[in-house]
Amino acid sequence: MLIQLVADYGHGDLAFAEVEQRLLRHLPGARVVPTPVGPFDTLAAGFCVGQLALTPGPPGLIVFHNVAPRTDDDAPRPGNEGERFLAGRLADDVLVVGPDAGYAFSFVRDHITELRPIKIGTGSQFRSRDELPARIAELASGDTTRLGDPVDPAEVPAVPAGRVAYVDGYGNLKTTWSDPPAESGSTVVIEIDGVMREATVSDGTFDVPHGAISFAPGSSGWAGTRWYELLLRGGSAAERFGHPAPGARVRLCP
C-alpha cells in the first residue's frame, strides 16, 4: 500500500517521521512518501493532492494531506479543534483524507464520488499524528463506522484561476492557467506580485533559447487538463519573478 503524505511540517522536519511512524504502526508494510509544501499553503497542497490522486498509481492508493491553518474560527480553541477532516473517494478507489482547509480538496473536487467527514477526538494539537493514522487504517480496511453523513463536493471551493499553485525544486512556477493565454510563439508580459517579465507562449516548456522564459503546458495535469508553468531555461523562474508569495496572481499585461 502506498500512502502519499502531503504536509506543511517543513523540509526534513521531525513531524514527517512521527506521522510516518504512526501510520506504519497501524498499517504495517505500507510505504509512506512525504511531499512538503510551504506553511499553511493549502493551494500548493491541493495541487499536489490532485497530481498524486488523479494520475496513475498502485491499487489502494491513499493520499493523506495535512495543511490546517485553523482559520475556520478566530476564537480561542480550548480543545485544539481545527478544520473538520474529510475522506473522499475518487475513481479507481483512490482515498483522499485530510482537513477541509482552503483549497486542499479543490483540485479533486470534480472527481469525488463520495465525500464524508471523519469523526475524531479533540485535545491533540498534532491531530495528523494522534488521530488520523488510526482512522486511515480503518478506512483502508473498509470500516466506515467513524464517517459522518455525506458532504456535497460543491461545498469545496473551486480552483482559483490564474494563480501560482506550486514551485518545484527547479524554480518552475506551476500555475492554475489551463488554457493558452495567447497563440503559440507569442511574446507576452507576465506580472506576478508587481514583477513584470517577458515570456514566450509555447507548446513545450523548453521551446525557448537559454536564458528565456516560456509559458507552456508543463509536466503536471490529469484527466485532459494540463497546467501551464513558467520556466526559465537554464535558471529559476521563481528567482526571476522575485520568489512570489504562495497563491500569487499570474496576470497578463497589455
pLDDT, residue 81, reads: 55
pLDDT, residue 71, reads: 55
Q: Is 215 helix (H, G, I), strand (E, B) or coil?
A: strand
Specify the length of the chain in residues: 254
Give the distance from CA 19 to its chain's centroid: 18
Angstrom distance (rounded) from CA 198 to CA 14: 41
Residue pair 181/188 in contact (Cβ under 8 Å)? The answer is yes
Looking at the predicted structure, is the pLDDT value of residue 250 above 80?
A: yes
Q: Same domain, yes or no, for 178 and 243?
A: yes
Q: Same domain, yes or no, for 95 and 7?
A: yes
Looking at the predicted structure, is the pLDDT value of residue 72 above 70?
A: no
Q: Which of 224, 214, 223 is nearest to 174 (CA)?
A: 214
- Please say which residue of 103, 126, 155 terminates a domain: 155
CA distances 134 to 137, 145, 240, Å, are: 5, 13, 44
Q: Same domain, yes or no, for 16 and 136?
A: yes
Q: Is 242 helix (H, G, I), strand (E, B) or coil?
A: coil
pLDDT, residue 204, reads: 72
pLDDT, residue 91, reads: 83
Residue pair 85/134 in contact (Cβ under 8 Å)? The answer is no
Q: What DSSP string describes 20-64?
A: HHHHHHHSTT-EEEEEE--TT-HHHHHHHHHHHHSS---TT-EEE
CA distances 50 to 22, 26, 44, 112, 232, Å, are: 24, 25, 10, 11, 24
Show Cβ contacts of residue 28 under 8 Å, excluding neighbours closer than 6 positions: none
- Please say which residue of 121, 155, 189 terminates a domain: 155
Range of the domain at 236: 164-253
CATH number of the domain encompassing residue 26? 3.40.50.10790
pLDDT, residue 22, reads: 94
Angstrom distance (rounded) from CA 164 to CA 107: 14
Percent of the chain at pLDDT > 70 equals 92
Burial label, 12 (beta-carbon count in 10 A; 0-12, 13-18, 19+): exposed
Angstrom distance (rounded) from CA 222 to CA 230: 18
pLDDT, residue 172, reads: 96
The 10s digit of each residue's pLDDT in 79-97 is 445 689 999 999 889 999 9
pLDDT band (50, 70, 90) for residue 3: very high
Q: Quick one: average pLDDT of 64-82?
A: 62
Q: Quick one: average pLDDT of 148-161?
A: 96
CATH number of the domain encompassing residue 242? 2.40.30.90
The 10s digit of each residue's pLDDT in 12-21 is 899 999 999 9
Q: What is the mean pLDDT of the chain?
A: 90
pLDDT band (50, 70, 90) for residue 223: confident
Q: Same domain, yes or no, for 135 and 182?
A: no
Residue that wins the pLDDT comparison between 10 and 26: 26
Q: Which of 66, 31, 19 is nearest to 46 (CA)?
A: 66
C-alpha cell at 74: 478566530
pLDDT, residue 164, reads: 98
Angstrom distance (rounded) from CA 13 to CA 127: 16
Looking at the predicted structure, is the pLDDT value of residue 69 above 90?
A: no
Q: Same domain, yes or no, for 136 and 186?
A: no
- This prediction has a pTM of 0.90
Tell me how many domains the chain contains.
2
Q: Same domain, yes or no, for 124 and 53?
A: yes
